[in-house]
Structure 1
């Protein structure tokens, strides 16, 4: 496990840029921060995973939520939250075996590719209590292990009005990351260096959210997502080539 609180300046700056871009994508579409940030951080600062991605993700989710809270579909939240809690509990148990090993980087890489594939396929499912619970559970497993928990919910909301979909997904993401933080803390895999690294990156989130405000009126969700998916895919493939 890492011996220093923060990575060297070069890796830190790469992660800082990643947080800014990921926050921008998350704010505009309701998903994308984890898919973009997790593989990049796994490449340049693997010892600080998964805690740093998830801790910063909580700030991203809450900040994005506050910008669109009036558009949330509140009736959808309880079953999705219940599923997220169950999935997170399962993932926390798995995390005790893989955090700090090469296995975590491999999991991150494959989860990113799966998430991108699901997004590109354009699958759709009706939104119901059952589908919300299942999506929340899958999101809990993926999000707690890798910081990539948004895709299952993104599939459910792919046909919903853009602003309402982004707002509700950000609510799920903010709650989900909080539950993941609690679970990883209980499992004793959330370390002080991860907290320190996240604290150094978190101030960039409000800056990125501020920049995203004028862009939110110019870009539809579909306009920015292909770029984010492409960058996430490249990062995941590079990560897997170095880890397998």
Structure 2
């Protein structure tokens, strides 16, 4: 990468970290498409390293508000979701999977805008975790299902719970990529170079969260979910 591309990549990562630190998810939605334009090697490996940094910072900041029960049930669903997603990738077209996931997320957002919310139970938490694992594996976008489940939670609870969920999920993904040879020394070193940008984005999110916690968390969750779904849809149809 040229020096200019490095600077742009750092700004993109900082912006994604700010969104995730404030809304609880969204770094991949913001950063992945732009990083792919700069250098395809930046996704998923280096971006996952950066994601570990922002999720770790967020879960520490909101540690008193993590919904441990919901986290456990959701992660119970994530692992089979990842497995089914991997099998689906091998058997089905990525285009069809992307369109299907995007339509499901857009439908869920549409229902939410009508005032219908899904009650958090073990069953719905497992389902959201499954959908998140499936989406993360097939399209790299796994945030919206969990975010939609927690859209009516307090800002700190949403951010803390999602950060813990994604931190463990990202760690599993990094281990998997290492085993298959997709996360080597170059990806790890590049990801570590992104960490200062993550800290900058996280500091900015600290300024944004008090505003969101005045009742704007849910609209932001819905907006970022729509953006992610549309991004997946456009990528699948292009």
Residue 117 of structure 1, aligned match among 92, 100, 106? 106
2:186 is aligned to: 193
Q: Aligned pair in 2 of structure 1 residues 56, 118: CA closer, same or farther (>3 Å)?
A: farther
1:4 is aligned to: none
Structure-2-length-normalised TM-score: 0.79
2:70 is aligned to: 76
Structure 2: segments with no counterpart, 5+ residues: none
State the distance in 2 between where 1:215 and 1:163 align.
Answer: 12
The reply to whether residue 44 of structure 1 matches residue 38 of structure 2 is: yes
- String of CA shifts for 1:104-157, please: whole Å, max 9, x gaps: 7x6997699558735742543221212212221221232244442211101111
Q: Aligned pair in 2 of structure 1 residues 94, 194: CA closer, same or farther (>3 Å)?
A: farther
Does the 8 Å CA contact 2:106/2:226 hold for their aligned counterparts?
A: no
1:27 is aligned to: 21
Q: Aligned pair in 2 of structure 1 residues 238, 138: CA closer, same or farther (>3 Å)?
A: closer
How many residue pairs end up in the alignment?
231
State the distance in 2 between where 1:169 and 1:58 align.
Answer: 12
Residue 137 of structure 1, aligned match among 127, 130, 134? 130
* 1:240 Cα offset (Å): 6.1
2:59 is aligned to: 65
Structure-1-length-normalised TM-score: 0.77
* 1:217 Cα offset (Å): 1.4
- String of CA shifts for 1:54-103, please: whole Å, max 9, x gaps: 22112111111111111111111212112222223444567789xxxxx8
Q: Aligned pair in 2 of structure 1 residues 194, 151: CA closer, same or farther (>3 Å)?
A: same
1:100 is aligned to: none
Please identify runs of 4+ aligned residues in structure 1 that moved more than 3 A: 89-97, 106-116, 144-147, 222-241
* 1:52 Cα offset (Å): 2.2
Q: Aligned pair in 2 of structure 1 residues 117, 44: CA closer, same or farther (>3 Å)?
A: farther
1:157 is aligned to: 150
